[in-house]
Amino acid sequence: MKPIKLTRLDAPTPAPPPLKPAAPAPVPLPGDAIHAERIHLFLEGIHVATVTVAVYEEQPIQPPRPGYNSHFLRAEGRFIDTRYSVRSVEGGPEGAVQQFKRSLEERMRKGKV
Amino acid sequence: MNLIKSEVLAVAQKIEREGIAFYKALAPQVKDLKARALLYRLAHDEALHLEGFDALLKVPAGDDAYDDTAMLTAYVQETVRADIFPPPAEAKRLARSANGLLAAIDLGLAAERQSVAFYERMATACTHAEGKAAFGELLAAEREHVATLEGLRRTFQNRQL
């Protein structure tokens, strides 16, 4: 006689596949910014602040002057009660944001904030 | 804007502005970078509070926005005249002196406890739902600041032992 295969009715249902982590909400672009991002500032591994950085395209300097970059991006953000900005010529908008982050973290390290 | 509304806002702004100036003056004087990071974080937090006072501005003017307005007005008027955080120059001077950092942290702690007392009283007395919630959030944030400074104090005290 063929054995009867028993199925447990109270067997746990398999877990649904894990959901993909939700993409972060886009940061609204202020004014004529071409890119905006929220960054986390750290000092000695301690999270100090989350800051919104906006990147602006600067108009080329005309006529081009020696020693000046004729075209650059400007990353700007507010930390504590001051607005900081850095000029960037490479790495595109994301590069400008990273440069802003490095610059501000270095300022904190030196106690120049 | 009636008297109590404008003065409640004035005290809240004073707490946050004085806090920014105090922590911003103290942080660069502290050689320990982890402690400096925490002090910068406190300064940044106070700046965010200052920017987020929109909800407090929605509390309507008039005696029915707060319970026990007469007592509250006297308290608010007294608080607006008093210094809550010590001046930034005092923070710098203390941080540079021997054992002064602990004294500076103690001054910060006293100021944060005063802020907690103020927001606690406002959260209890405010009858306007949005205003009450805003005071409650500020109260929670200032309580966290007290905990941060207490932790910092323990760290430096243990190092001195």
Cα distance from A35 to chain B (closest Cα, Å)? 22
Q: What is the pLDDT of residues A49-79, one digit of tens each?
A: 999 999 999 887 777 777 776 778 999 999 9
In a domain, A24, yes or no: no
> What is the rounded radius of gyration, in angstroms, for the C-alpha atoms of chain A?
25
Cβ-based contacts of B38 with chain A (< 8 Å): 46
Q: What is the pLDDT of residues B2-24, one digit of tens each?
A: 557 778 888 899 999 999 999 99
Domains of chain B (ranges; CATH) run 3-160 (1.20.1260.10)
Give me the number of domains chain A comprises.
1
In a domain, A21, yes or no: no
Cβ-based contacts of B40 with chain A (< 8 Å): 43, 48-49, 80, 108, 113
Q: Is the peptide bond before A17 cis (omega within 30 degrees of 0)?
A: no
Q: In which band, very low, low, confident or very high, does the pLDDT at A14 lie, cut at 50, 70 and 90?
A: low
- Residue linked to tokens 């987020």: B52
**Structural domain range at position A81:** 38-110
List, in order, residues 6 or more apart from B140 with CB less than 8 Å away.
none
State yes or no: pLDDT of B81 exceeds 90: no
In a domain, A61, yes or no: yes
